[in-house]
Amino acid sequence: MKLIKNIQEFVFEEDRPFKSCHASTLIVLEDGSVLVSYFAGTRESADDVAIWISKRQNGKWGSPIKVADIEGIPHWNPVLFQKQDGEIILYYKVGKTIPKWYTLFICSKDGGQTWSEPKELVEGDIGGRGPVKNKSIVLSDGTWAAPASIEDKYWDAFVDLSYDEGKTWHMSNIVSFDHDDTYQGKGIIQPTLWESEPGHVHMLLRSTAGRIFRSDSTDGGKTWCAAYPTYLPNNNSGIDLDKADDGTLVLAYNPIGMYKGPRSPLILGISEDNGENWTQGMILEKFWGEFSYPAVVIVGKTVYVTYTWQRERIVFCELSLTP
């Protein structure tokens, strides 16, 4: 398989109503419009950082709109999810520091035009439940699987599972990782998920060990094997993938095998054997700078990607996946 780029454009231009933005997420609506969310403000972790959205309709982007903001508290890592009935859920984190953040969500029944009041995902949670950066997926049995992680003294990953369409959530086991190995650093976070066959779920993970790690589950995400390194490099920055209908995986990442290495270039990799082997599908950004935190969604044979551009803007790409 190969990728052909159709569109690469900014979601908004210089007249944006904030200085900095990061951590985009996207969904494609039934009418073909694209909804993107991100956090934005003075800088990451500043008290004025809120959750914003932009919508692309008829080939044009609307102005950024602020949809979630608690004055004086930083907001982080929005994640969009669309239910089968069309309702949109927007999850996000709130807190002065990452170890103390918690998860809120808001809902829209009109394509992102209006939103409900925020609610806690898990009452009393501190540390972050539900999707932490990348999108949730719906498993073949209808289970919602949210890729989650904890950032404290150590970094650890797990999956939050909901069997009642988001009403209640149940944690998987923590994915085992050797924190005693000094070389491997703090750990693994921000999983990205796919299901290869009923009950067989897999994750790739951001790590502090210079490689993308992987873990696998054979019981629908309830339990996971110990994380193991792939040959894919990782610079301790976010990754994301999605699976096409024919099983092809498209992964966005920075191919730098260095802890806190440069967040450029940004490329798309393609796997046709369930993530065992990868070929380079497309270079999205190749020059010096920060091009990071991608989000990937595949609809049919169309691949949609958003990512951070220099912490100043969000880029949107549309590509065709072809033989």
Residues 137, 142: Cα–Cα separation, whole Å: 9
At residue 2, the pLDDT reads 95
How many whole angstroms separate alpha carbon 261 and alpha carbon 39?
23
Task: List the domains of the chain with CATH numbers.
Answer: 2-322 (2.120.10.10)
What are the Cα distances from residue 22, in Å, to 19, 27, 108, 291?
11, 17, 22, 10
DSSP 229-295: EEEEE--S---EEEE-TTS-EEEEE----STT-----EEEEEESSTTSS-EEEEEEE-SSS-EEEEE
Q: Are 240 and 284 in contact (CB under 8 A)?
A: no
Could you give the CA distance from residue 234 to residue 215 in angstroms, rounded to a whole number?
Answer: 16
- Going by C-alpha positions, the residue among 272, 273, 231 that lies closest to residue 255 is 231
- Ordered per-residue pLDDT tens for the chain, 323 residues: 999 999 999 999 989 999 999 999 999 999 999 999 999 999 999 999 999 999 999 999 999 999 999 999 999 999 999 999 999 999 999 999 999 999 999 999 999 999 999 999 999 999 989 999 999 999 999 999 999 999 999 999 999 999 999 999 999 999 999 998 878 899 999 999 999 999 999 999 999 999 999 999 999 999 999 999 999 999 999 999 999 999 999 999 999 999 999 999 999 999 999 999 999 999 999 989 999 999 999 999 999 999 999 999 999 999 999 99
239 contacts 211 by C-beta, under 8 angstroms: no
Residue 181: what pLDDT? 85
Instruction: Please list, residue by residue across 213-230, b when 16 or more beta carbons sit within 10 angstroms of its beta carbon and e when fewer do.
Output: bbbbbeebbbebeebeeb
Alpha-carbon gap, residue 263 to 292, rounded angstroms: 6
**Token pair for residue 2?**
């190969």
Cα 308 from Cα 26, distance rounded (Å): 13
pLDDT for 170:
98
pTM flag (> 0.75): yes
